[in-house]
């Protein structure tokens, strides 16, 4: 039932042959003629989908016939009807004017009987004539057709003319004479035949009208038909031929007026009063009806006269309803006159009264100057005011709402007509429509309301009032929705035509409110992308609250008509654009409803998925590729030629401007058939938790199997999801974004585009363009149209790859994969003593599918904490500290010959590890002070498998934990001078080396004063005994790191018990380093100059520090100290903690000028008693004193050696003294001794490595104890070289 109502609505929308409302100003001048197909009885009812041949022929000929919709009266033969015309026309004496009018036909193919009660009031509503169309091939005998037609026309007993026309007759049928059927032969011009037929038909009609007019004139009482609600859809059969009316066999026109009918029954109680009133009003009503018939007959002048009389009568009798109707008829008649071809002015003398009374300014005073255009213009100018009166009268009469609404709609349509030329058409039309709705809207039936709203919308749409059109279309949808909803609840599918009309309505409503209408999704794997700028512009448009209401209505309606796509589209739009205007619960409700609807559609199999746009931008905030685990991550390396030369030809060691190229720039490289992971940060804009049913990557470039994931994003929060997939081939993998399915199956693709400079500039330009557009004078709906009806662009299939990808990830072929099967360390940790040397081994296993052909171990030590910097660090300390940190490595590779033979020039180890095979790698460890461990990193790969310049490697890392314990402590160190008299032997352990050295000196004839003693106090602070081995090399070793000394001069081993300390004496040869060598600044390891925190040392201090450093370097270069605590554990003992102080340095450093003395007996040229003395090392022994006799000449010889590398110019002084041995000395020795020569003299320049001999003959005159002191002074530097003293003991001869 509701479907039928909707179908009725649809018919009215589709412009069916009989609309419910007549809104044309001149509709009442058209005779309603029903065309019926005369089909054989056994023929099935016509079906629109598969019409029979007869029905198709009917449609064809009906269209042909409909072209003949007007017939000039002048073309008709004048018949006897003139005698039947009214008195008014007779009075006009204008029989000749028949020729001026037209008969107009309104052909319909179905005739609803909803408004029977109005047919008597407005004859143009009635089916006045019936034409049957016979398709001759359907009939063998045309008499049968005639019978069928008669049966059909029985239903239209009140029609006054019934004719049957037969097409395509056979030869035998042409000859048959069947009464009432006009045959149209196949040959000949069809239009000519039809014209002739219509002419005859018109004459029949005119005759019938004449009879009807006469009958009206005879009627004593004409009652107003009682207002009856039109038949509801419940009891209305399908409009058409099968309407079962009361059978009236008589075809006489006298049956036009029914004496009584169920609809027109007058209530008995008021019968008498009403009849009296009706009798009084009958003359006016009769004139009105006559006027109507005259208008239909085309006799307009007579009709005007009849209407004038009707208006007069009705006004006098207060018959507002009939008066209003008569005025409408008058408007139509005058309008037709204005539009008639011939100048109408001359035909209007009887209208003087009319024009003066009712305002029509058809001025007859100057008939010759009035043109048709002017007449029409004046008619147009007057019609609105006339219709206002009509409306007022209808309101006053409180009669049928339909009539009132029609009158208003006529004016609305009139206002919208272009030719009328109203300035404010929209306002005028809108006000008429609003007026009709205000006074009668509620009184109309649902169908009428739908028709009214539809027509109103149509009228407003025609004049471009799109908002108003949408306003009324919303009402249409609201009216039709209950029916659709009821149908949907009963599981009925609405009629397709209704569905399409509803969708068309929504298509008109949405743009008016700034809502994007649904457009078909592109097919063939295309992707819809959101244009963010346009989307933002669209979002700004419109009235949010109205949009929310309208979207809700659209969603409900689309659900009712079961249009899933549109439901999804509108729901998405509601959530996307106007969620801020929805309560949190509403959002959730809408989402749940959408979820249910989509899931249901998918489960029914209607669709597999839905494309929607549920978020404009910012849903996918960030997308990045995850690094693989360290062991699996490939690294790119440039292949280095065997010669080691860089193929790039860049002369610089480091060129900051050089392109990194294929060097490992930290980019992630994916490997074929190995999973790749991406992190996507998503944002849930909604006020409810968003469940992502399926989220996967959208890629191109290489074949990629994206894994599906699901997640739940909390309301208004971001979420980072890990997405994965497996690339199946090598190349460039372009990742565009991700595809997300939510709400039970709504899919949207989100693309993230990297913002490179050009794109940023483009965005700026675009923003500028948009703001420029914004500044232009586009406003209202034009602004929305300008923004675009869909805020997304569609990128078709292959064009997808043109979109700049968010990520561009290289994919390489299969790579080998190693794992550490085992190491020699337990728990990856090892304890070492400081300076210990040890080894560890790592067993590698190839668990990949490719062989490995090179390994490259590298080591990273954990950073060690710097020593506490409590006291001021000297430069030497800094050097030692930095040197130890930089040059001492905890990891050593290669340990032995392993790397020696199989190492390439680039440091790689050539191996061949087949899949599944193992390889053991040995690495040396050193107990570095403060080291806590480190990482062994082994790069490996297959260089042979790749022919490109770039090879890809993987890394495997083995963390090693080291704890280094201090076991031996150097407590103290000193350097002692050795004098000749001190040389003694001892059996102590610490003296072993001294003994060895003395033996050696005795053997080589060396001078003991060229040696000194280094004393070392060493303590064992560990819990096991240690053996310390000291070795002294005869020459400085080339490398400090070497354990072996070149030519061991002396060697000793001492055992240190736990907790004990021992002193070791090491004979060290005194040295004199070249001045320019010893004066070198202390080097910096880090090559970075650091300003000392303390005060700047003086030049002397600086020189002392430098000398101490370089002499220490020279001394330690000859000493090698190793320890051993067990056969497996051994290492080096570091002596670099020794610091030389100034006294130690003085001992260690030999002077550049050396003295040696001797005393010769002058009497005998050869010294009988010769004593050599070393001044610096004199030991008070008896042997250190020269014994002389009184009066005997001796010669004191002092040899001065220049040990330096430069010549020296010296001034020599000697001073003899008498020592009383009581603390007093006598310098005036003129009575005690005599000498020959100068005590002070400048001696000649002594060349480097040369010597000078000073001789002084002396003779002691008295006994005593004499001492001679001497020194030399450099005349250039004033440096004084202390010589020493020579003791003489003079005895009596």
Partner 1 sequence: MSYYFVIVGTKDNPVYEAELGVPVGRSDAQLGKRHLNQFVAHSSLDVIEEMMWSTNALYLKTVDRYNDKTVSGYVTPSNVKLLLIHENKADDGVKNFLTECHELYIKVLLSPFYEPNMPIRSVAFDNKIRMAARRYL
Task: Please list, in sequence order, all residues whose beta carbon lies within 8 angstroms of the beta carbon of residue 260, skipping any fewer than 6 positions away.
Answer: none
Nearer to partner 1, 392 or 679 (CB): 392
Q: Is 540 in the site for partner 1 (CB under 8 A)?
A: yes
- The stretch among 373-381, 424-432, 824-832, 1030-1038 that binds partner 1 (CB under 8 A) is 424-432
Nearer to partner 1, 468 or 919 (CB): 468
Q: How far is the CB of 388 from partner 1 (least distance, A)?
A: 14
Which of 180, 185, 464, 1047 lies at the binding interface for partner 1 (CB under 8 A)? 464
Which of 421, 731, 780, 797 lies at the binding interface for partner 1 (CB under 8 A)? 780
Q: How far is the CB of 376 from partner 1 (least distance, A)?
A: 23
Task: Please list, in sequence order, all residues whose beta carbon lies within 8 angstroms of the beta carbon of residue 1118, skipping any fewer than 6 positions away.
Answer: 1032, 1033, 1034, 1035, 1036, 1037, 1045, 1068, 1069
Q: Is 467 in the site for partner 1 (CB under 8 A)?
A: yes
Q: Is 511 in the site for partner 1 (CB under 8 A)?
A: no
From the list 248, 327, 251, the residue with the least C-alpha distance to 292 is 327
Q: Is 444 in the site for partner 1 (CB under 8 A)?
A: no
Residue 755 structure tokens: 């913002």
By CB atoms closer than 10 A (0-12, 13-18, 19+), residue 507 is middle
Separation between Cα atoms, residue 609 and residue 747, nearest integer Å: 7
- The stretch among 419-427, 846-854, 1222-1230, 1239-1247 that binds partner 1 (CB under 8 A) is 419-427
Q: Is 579 in the site for partner 1 (CB under 8 A)?
A: no
Q: How far is the CB of 470 from partner 1 (least distance, A)?
A: 7
Q: Is 546 in the site for partner 1 (CB under 8 A)?
A: yes
From the list 1200, 1117, 1210, the residue with the least C-alpha distance to 1156 is 1200
Nearer to partner 1, 405 or 738 (CB): 405
Q: How far is the CB of 190 from partner 1 (least distance, A)?
A: 47
Which of 16, 215, 431, 825 lies at the binding interface for partner 1 (CB under 8 A)? 431
CB 670 within 8 A of CB 730: no
Separation between Cα atoms, residue 989 and residue 1055, nearest integer Å: 9
Which of 313, 474, 837, 1062 lies at the binding interface for partner 1 (CB under 8 A)? 474
- The stretch among 112-120, 536-544, 953-961, 1273-1281 that binds partner 1 (CB under 8 A) is 536-544
Q: Is 952 in the site for partner 1 (CB under 8 A)?
A: no
Cα separations in angstroms, 110 against 67, 240, 246, 512: 18, 5, 18, 36
From the list 748, 760, 739, the residue with the least C-alpha distance to 804 is 760
Residue 748 structure tokens: 């949207």
Compute the half-sphere exposure of residue 1064: CA atoms within 13 Å on the CB side of its CA: 25
Nearer to partner 1, 544 or 788 (CB): 544
Which of 460, 815, 855, 1108 lies at the binding interface for partner 1 (CB under 8 A)? 460
Q: Is 466 in the site for partner 1 (CB under 8 A)?
A: yes
Separation between Cα atoms, residue 1289 and residue 1188, nearest integer Å: 6
Cα separations in angstroms, 270 against 120, 263, 265: 21, 16, 11
Nearer to partner 1, 543 or 1187 (CB): 543
Nearer to partner 1, 181 or 783 (CB): 783
Q: How far is the CB of 790 from partner 1 (least distance, A)?
A: 17
Using CB under 8 A as the binding criterion, the count of chain residues that bind partner 1 stands at 37
Nearer to partner 1, 425 or 747 (CB): 425
CB 1259 within 8 A of CB 1293: no
Which of 81, 97, 113, 425 lies at the binding interface for partner 1 (CB under 8 A)? 425
How many residues in total does the chain contain?
1293
Residue whose tokens read 């009660």: 117
- The stretch among 273-281, 465-473, 642-650, 952-960 that binds partner 1 (CB under 8 A) is 465-473
Separation between Cα atoms, residue 531 and residue 1205, nearest integer Å: 88
Q: How far is the CB of 793 from partner 1 (least distance, A)?
A: 22
Q: Is 533 in the site for partner 1 (CB under 8 A)?
A: no
Task: Please list, in sequence order, all residues whose beta carbon lies within 8 angstroms of the beta carbon of residue 1222, skipping any fewer than 6 positions away.
Answer: none
CB atoms within 10 A of CB 73: 18
Q: How far is the CB of 109 from partner 1 (least distance, A)?
A: 36
Which of 6, 94, 370, 465 lies at the binding interface for partner 1 (CB under 8 A)? 465
Q: Is 570 in the site for partner 1 (CB under 8 A)?
A: no
3-class secondary-structure state, position 96: helix
Give me the helix-helix angle, 466-489 and 446-462, nearest 10°. Answer: 150
Nearer to partner 1, 65 or 415 (CB): 415
Which of 513, 833, 1254, 1288 lies at the binding interface for partner 1 (CB under 8 A)? 513
Separation between Cα atoms, residue 836 and residue 720, nearest integer Å: 50
Q: Is 478 in the site for partner 1 (CB under 8 A)?
A: no
Rounded (to 5) percent helix, strand, coil in the chain: 35, 25, 35
Which of 5, 13, 129, 470 lies at the binding interface for partner 1 (CB under 8 A)? 470
List the 30-38 sheet strands across, edge first: 70-72, 102-108, 30-38, 127-135, 161-167, 181-184
Which of 215, 243, 434, 726 lies at the binding interface for partner 1 (CB under 8 A)? 434
Q: How far is the CB of 794 from partner 1 (least distance, A)?
A: 25
Residue 1205 structure tokens: 């590398």
Cα separations in angstroms, 322 against 25, 221, 266, 284: 17, 14, 18, 8
DSSP string, 476-544: HHHHHHHHHHHHHHTTPPPPHHHHHHHHHHHHHHHHHTT-PPP-PPPPSS-EEEE-HHHHHHHHHSS-H
Nearer to partner 1, 514 or 1216 (CB): 514
Q: How far is the CB of 443 from partner 1 (least distance, A)?
A: 14
Q: Is 1247 in the site for partner 1 (CB under 8 A)?
A: no
Q: Is 514 in the site for partner 1 (CB under 8 A)?
A: yes
Nearer to partner 1, 466 or 499 (CB): 466
Q: Is 543 in the site for partner 1 (CB under 8 A)?
A: yes
Which of 143, 545, 658, 920 lies at the binding interface for partner 1 (CB under 8 A)? 545
Nearer to partner 1, 541 or 926 (CB): 541
Beta bridge partners of 1290: 1188, 1264
Nearer to partner 1, 469 or 1037 (CB): 469
Residue 530 structure tokens: 């959101």
Q: Is 471 in the site for partner 1 (CB under 8 A)?
A: yes
- The stretch among 184-192, 428-436, 496-504, 581-589 that binds partner 1 (CB under 8 A) is 428-436
Nearer to partner 1, 508 or 595 (CB): 508
Cα separations in angstroms, 437 against 405, 443, 745, 1073, 1105: 8, 9, 44, 122, 113
Separation between Cα atoms, residue 1054 and residue 1029, nearest integer Å: 7
Nearer to partner 1, 370 or 422 (CB): 422
Which of 50, 423, 1003, 1041 lies at the binding interface for partner 1 (CB under 8 A)? 423
Nearer to partner 1, 545 or 794 (CB): 545
Separation between Cα atoms, residue 508 and residue 514, nearest integer Å: 11
3-class secondary-structure state, position 724: strand
Nearer to partner 1, 199 or 544 (CB): 544
- The stretch among 538-546, 666-674, 901-909, 1280-1288 that binds partner 1 (CB under 8 A) is 538-546
Q: Is 781 in the site for partner 1 (CB under 8 A)?
A: yes
Compute the half-sphere exposure of residue 565: CA atoms within 13 Å on the CB side of its CA: 11
Q: Is 1187 in the site for partner 1 (CB under 8 A)?
A: no
- The residue ranges that bind partner 1 (CB under 8 A) are 423-427, 430-431, 434-435, 437-438, 460, 464-468, 470-471, 474, 513-514, 540-546, 549, 777-781, 783-784
């Amino acid at each position: 039932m509701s479907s039928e109502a909707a179908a009725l609505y649809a018919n009215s929308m589709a412009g069916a042959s009989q609309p419910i409302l007549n809104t044309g100003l001149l509709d009442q001048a058209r005779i309603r003629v029903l065309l019926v197909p005369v089909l054989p009885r056994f023929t099935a009812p016509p079906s629109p989908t598969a019409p029979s041949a007869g029905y198709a022929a009917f449609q064809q000929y009906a269209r042909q016939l409909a072209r003949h919709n007007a017939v000039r009266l002048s073309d008709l033969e004048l018949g006897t009807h003139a005698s039947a015309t009214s008195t008014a026309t007779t009075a006009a004496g204008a029989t000749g004017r028949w020729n001026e009018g037209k008969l107009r036909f309104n052909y319909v193919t179905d005739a609803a009987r909803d408004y029977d009660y109005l047919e008597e009031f407005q004859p143009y509503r009635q089916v006045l004539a019936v034409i049957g169309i016979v398709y001759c091939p359907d009939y063998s005998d045309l008499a049968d057709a005639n019978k069928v037609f008669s049966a059909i026309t029985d239903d239209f007993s009140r029609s006054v003319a019934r004719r049957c026309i037969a097409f395509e007759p056979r030869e035998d049928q042409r000859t048959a004479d069947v009464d009432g059927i006009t045959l149209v032969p196949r040959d000949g011009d069809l239009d000519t035949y039809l014209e002739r037929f219509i002419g005859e038909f018109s004459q029949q009609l005119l005759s019938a009208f004449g009879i009807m007019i006469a009958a009206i004139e005879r009627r004593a009482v004409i009652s107003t038909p009682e207002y009856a609600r039109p038949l509801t859809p419940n009891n209305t059969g399908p409009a058409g031929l099968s309407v079962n009316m009361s059978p009236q066999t008589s075809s006489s026109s006298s049956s036009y007026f029914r004496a009584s009918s169920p609809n027109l029954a007058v209530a008995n109680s008021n019968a008498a009063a009403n009849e009296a009133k009706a009798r009084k009003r009958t003359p006016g009503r009769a004139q009105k009806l006559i006027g109507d018939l005259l208008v239909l007959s085309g006799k307009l002048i007579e009709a005007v006269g009849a209407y004038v009389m009707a208006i007069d009568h009705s006004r006098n009798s207060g018959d507002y309803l009939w008066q209003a109707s008569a005025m409408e008829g008058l408007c139509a008649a005058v309008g037709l006159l204005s539009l008639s071809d011939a100048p109408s002015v001359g035909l209007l003398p009887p209208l003087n009264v009319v024009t003066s009374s009712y305002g029509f300014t058809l001025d007859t005073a100057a008939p010759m100057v009035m043109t048709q255009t002017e007449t029409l213009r004046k008619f147009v100018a007057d019609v609105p005011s006339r219709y206002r009166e009509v409306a007022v009268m209808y309101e006053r009469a409180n009669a049928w709402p339909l009539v009132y609404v029609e009158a208003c709609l006529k004016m609305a349509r009139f206002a919208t007509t272009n030719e009328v030329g109203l300035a404010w058409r929209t306002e005028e039309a809108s006000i008429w429509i609003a007026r009709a709705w205000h006074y009668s809207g509620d009184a109309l039936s649902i169908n009428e309301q739908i028709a009214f709203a539809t027509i109103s919308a149509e009228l407003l749409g025609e004049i471009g009032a799109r908002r108003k059109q949408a306003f009324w279309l919303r009402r249409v949808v609201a009216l039709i929705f209950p029916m659709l909803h009821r149908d949907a609840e009963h599981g009925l599918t609405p009629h397709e035509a209704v569905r399409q009309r509803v969708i068309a309505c929504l298509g008109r409503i949405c743009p008016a409110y700034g809502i994007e209408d649904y457009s078909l999704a592109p097919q063939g794997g295309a992707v819809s992308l959101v244009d963010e700028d346009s989307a933002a512009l669209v979002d700004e448009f419109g009235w949010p609250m109205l949009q929310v209401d309208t979207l809700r209505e659209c969603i409900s309606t689309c659900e009712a008509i079961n249009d899933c796509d549109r439901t999804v589209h509108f729901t998405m739009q509601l959530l996307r654009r106007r969620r801020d205007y929805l309560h949190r619960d509403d959002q959730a409700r809408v989402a749940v409803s959408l979820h249910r609807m989509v899931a249901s559609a998918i489960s029914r199999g209607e669709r597999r998925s839905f494309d929607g746009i549920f978020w404009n931008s910012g849903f996918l905030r960030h997308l990045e590729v995850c690094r693989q685990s360290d062991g699996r991550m490939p690294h790119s390396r440039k292949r280095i030629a065997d010669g080691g030369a860089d193929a790039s030809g860049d002369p610089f060691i480091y060129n900051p401007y050089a392109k990194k190229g294929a060097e490992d720039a930290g980019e992630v490289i994916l490997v074929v058939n190995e999973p790749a992971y991406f992190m996507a940060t998503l944002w849930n804009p909604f006020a409810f938790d968003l469940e992502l049913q399926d989220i996967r990557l959208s890629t191109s470039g290489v074949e990629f199997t994206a894994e599906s994931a699901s997640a739940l994003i909390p309301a208004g929060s971001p979420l980072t999801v890990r997405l994965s997939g497996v690339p199946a081939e090598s190349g460039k993998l372009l990742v565009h974004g991700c595809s997300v399915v939510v709400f039970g199956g709504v899919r949207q693709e989100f693309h993230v585009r990297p913002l490179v400079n050009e794109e940023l500039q483009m965005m700026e330009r675009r923003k500028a363009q948009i703001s420029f557009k914004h500044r232009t004078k586009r406003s209202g709906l034009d602004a929305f149209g300008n923004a675009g009806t869909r805020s997304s662009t569609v990128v078709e299939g292959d064009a997808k790859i043109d979109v700049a990808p968010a990520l561009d990830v290289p994919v390489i072929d299969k790579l080998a994969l190693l794992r550490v099967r085992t190491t020699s360390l337990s728990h990856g940790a090892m304890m070492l003593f400081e300076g210990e040397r040890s080894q560890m081994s790592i067993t590698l296993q190839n668990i990949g599918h490719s062989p490995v052909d090179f390994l490259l171990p590298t080591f990273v030590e954990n950073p060690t904490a710097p020593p506490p910097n409590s006291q001021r660090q000297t430069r030497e300390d800094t050097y030692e500290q930095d040197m130890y940190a930089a040059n001492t490595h905890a990891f050593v590779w290669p340990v032995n010959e392993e790397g020696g033979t199989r190492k390439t020039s680039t440091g790689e180890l050539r191996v061949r590890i087949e899949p599944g095979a193992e390889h053991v790698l040995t690495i040396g460890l050193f107990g570095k002070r403060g080291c806590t461990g480190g990482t062994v990193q082994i790069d490996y790969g297959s260089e042979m498998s790749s022919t490109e310049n770039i090879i890809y490697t993987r890394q495997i890392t083995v963390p090693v934990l080291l704890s280094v314990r201090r076991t031996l402590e150097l407590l103290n160190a000193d350097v002692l001078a050795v004098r000749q008299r001190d040389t003694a032997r001892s059996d102590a352990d610490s003296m072993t080396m001294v003994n060895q050295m003395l033996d050696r000196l005795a053997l080589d004839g060396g001078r003991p004063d060229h040696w000194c003693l280094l004393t070392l106090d060493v303590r064992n602070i560990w819990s096991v005994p240690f053996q310390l081995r000291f070795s002294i090399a005869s020459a400085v070793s080339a490398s400090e790191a070497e354990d072996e000394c070149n030519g061991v001069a002396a060697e000793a081993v001492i055992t240190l018990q736990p907790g004990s300390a021992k002193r070791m004496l090491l004979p060290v040869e005194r040295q004199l380093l070249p001045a320019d060598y010893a004066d070198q600044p202390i080097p910096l390891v880090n090559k970075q100059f650091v300003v000392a925190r303390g005060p700047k040392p003086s030049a002397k201090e600086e020189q002392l520090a430098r000398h101490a450093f370089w002499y220490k370097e020279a001394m330690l270069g000859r000493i090698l100290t190793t320890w051993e605590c067990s056969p497996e554990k051994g290492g080096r003992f570091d002596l670099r903690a020794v610091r030389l102080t100034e006294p130690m340095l003085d001992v260690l450093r030999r002077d550049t000028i050396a003295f040696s003395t001797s005393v010769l007996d002058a009497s005998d040229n050869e010294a009988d008693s010769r004593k050599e003395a070393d001044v610096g090392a004199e030991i008070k022994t008896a042997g250190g004193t020269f014994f002389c006799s009184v009066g005997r000449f001796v010669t004191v010889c002092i040899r001065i050696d220049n040990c330096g590398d430069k010549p020296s110019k010296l001034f020599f002084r000697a001073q003899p003294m008498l020592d009383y041995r009581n603390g007093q000395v006598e310098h005036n020795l003129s009575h005690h001794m005599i000498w020959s020569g100068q005590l002070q003299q400048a001696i000649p320049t002594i060349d480097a490595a040369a010597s000078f001999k000073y001789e002084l003959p002396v003779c002691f005159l008295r006994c005593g104890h004499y001492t001679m002191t001497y020194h030399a002074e450099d005349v250039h530097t004033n440096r004084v070289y202390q010589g020493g003293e020579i003791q003489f003991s003079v005895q009596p001869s």
